[in-house]
Amino acid sequence: MTAQPEHDTTADLAEQHRQLVLSKRAASQLQSLPSALPDAPAFEIQNPLGGLMPQFLTTAVDPPAKSGDPVDFAKVAAGFPSQALGPTFISYGPMLADRDLVFEEWESQIYGANGTVYNNQYCWLLRFEQGNVVEMREYNDSHHAALIFGTLGNWPKLTPPTQPRRRSRKGAPVPPIPDDQLETVFAINEEHVVDPRMLRDPTPGDDPAPLGNELEKEDLKKLVRLLRHARASGNQERVNAFYAQGFRHFIAGHPPFGWDHLPLGEIYAPLAEHIDGPLQMRFSEPLVEGNRVVEEVDSFARLDDGTVYNNWHCLVHEIRNGKIVQTREYMDTRHVWVVLGRWAKWGQQKVEAPSRPRRSNLQGIASTIQTPTFFLDLDRWTPFS
């Protein structure tokens, strides 16, 4: 009898998760805009998750609302989209499916009657259990959200925190965490103490690729883990060896972030100057598909004025010939402005709400859909007030 090849059930499950998200999204596209006709059938509201309803929805930002009550949320979230001109356009990059997680990068565009454009840049991870998505973890340009939604939604002004922060969360309740304890939403794969001066752009050289040019899935994970250790060691030359000539680091956000950001060392200079204790960094297990590696990172440090820097990041690395050629990073940009911007020259620059779309964060567009704009409940034949 001929031996049957081993069946990779992990890969099968990951593919099933991918197909479930795609099928739900395709169905939601058919309910993208309410009819403008009187006496039309009831409209079935959709969301960017395309009908998927996780138990936990966690966003790496400060909660803008006073509570999780839908009424409080509507007060801060409805200001801008309630005067939108139509449905929200969403473009998704290629999915990455690994183990029980699906990862996507995406961008949204909402055109407002006040002449501004909501054009946020995101990534999220959807976690599955027994064929159902049970958790969403989202990262976006929170500074952009505050610029557009905050003005019309009367968002409260943030002050630098003095204790570990708590992410914005909706869905099933979770056990409370002591005020002085760090919150984490992923299984911690590694923890390192890092000199904040190591948070700077690399200078790629001609060093050979640390693990060779041809890397398998486990090699790609190892490469990212070795980079973590190199940065924690404080050896910048060792860090440089992980990056290819022409490396680019995109950070979802307005200046000082973006495709052409300030040098990272300049962005993080206030952290290096005012740190009063270790910079702790916690890392997730790397996710891998093809030549992409995704990792979630939490960072925490106490500062010399009694405040804390406690940010949340998600990074996707593109790897070619054994080296990183591009990293795209998503984090709570508003937190950087609130905590570090008060000491930086870039923090004194006023950023206006944009009136046109930004350069896309996506490397490729797997699909573009339209989804109903939340809180846009105005009859289409009724003029704006």
Give pLDDT, residue 1.
44
Give pLDDT, residue 224.
98
5: confidence class by pLDDT, cuts 50, 70, 90: very low
Give pLDDT, residue 238.
97
Residue 120, number of CB atoms within 10 A of its CB:
22
Least confident window among 73-82, 172-181, 329-338: 73-82
Residue 222, number of CB atoms within 10 A of its CB:
15
97 φ/ψ angles, rounded to the nearest 5 degrees: -120, 125
What is the arithmetic mean of pLDDT over 149-170? 93
Are 158 and 334 spatial neighbours (Cβ–Cβ below 8 Å)? yes
Give pLDDT, residue 27.
80
Specify the residue for token string 């992923």: 186
Cα separation, 251 vs 259, whole angstroms:
7
What is the arithmetic mean of pLDDT over 115-123? 97
Average pLDDT value for the chain: 91
What is the arithmetic mean of pLDDT over 130-155? 94
| pLDDT tens for each residue of 194-219 | 999 999 999 999 999 999 999 999 99
Q: Which residues in the chain belong to E strands, given as ranges?
A: 56-59, 88-92, 96-98, 101-111, 117-118, 121-129, 132-140, 168-171, 188-194, 243-251, 279-284, 287-289, 292-302, 308-320, 323-331, 367-371
How long a stretch of residues is the chain? 385
| pLDDT tens for each residue of 241-295 | 999 999 999 999 999 999 999 999 999 999 999 999 999 999 999 999 999 999 9
What is residue 210's three-state secondary structure? coil
DSSP string, 8-71: -HHHHHHHHHHHHHHHHHHHHHTTSS---STTPPPP----TTTT---SEEEESS---SSSS-HH
Strand partners, 57: 136, 170
379: confidence class by pLDDT, cuts 50, 70, 90: low
Give pLDDT, residue 2.
46
Give pLDDT, residue 244.
98
Give pLDDT, residue 46.
67
| pLDDT tens for each residue of 37-68 | 778 777 776 677 877 889 999 999 998 887 77
DSSP string, 302-340: EBTTS-EEEEEEEEEEEEETTEEEEEEEEEBHHHHHHHT
4: confidence class by pLDDT, cuts 50, 70, 90: very low
Least confident window among 80-89, 122-131, 234-243: 80-89
pLDDT above 90 as % of the chain: 72
Burial bucket for residue 380 (CB in 10 Å: 0-12, 13-18, 19+): exposed
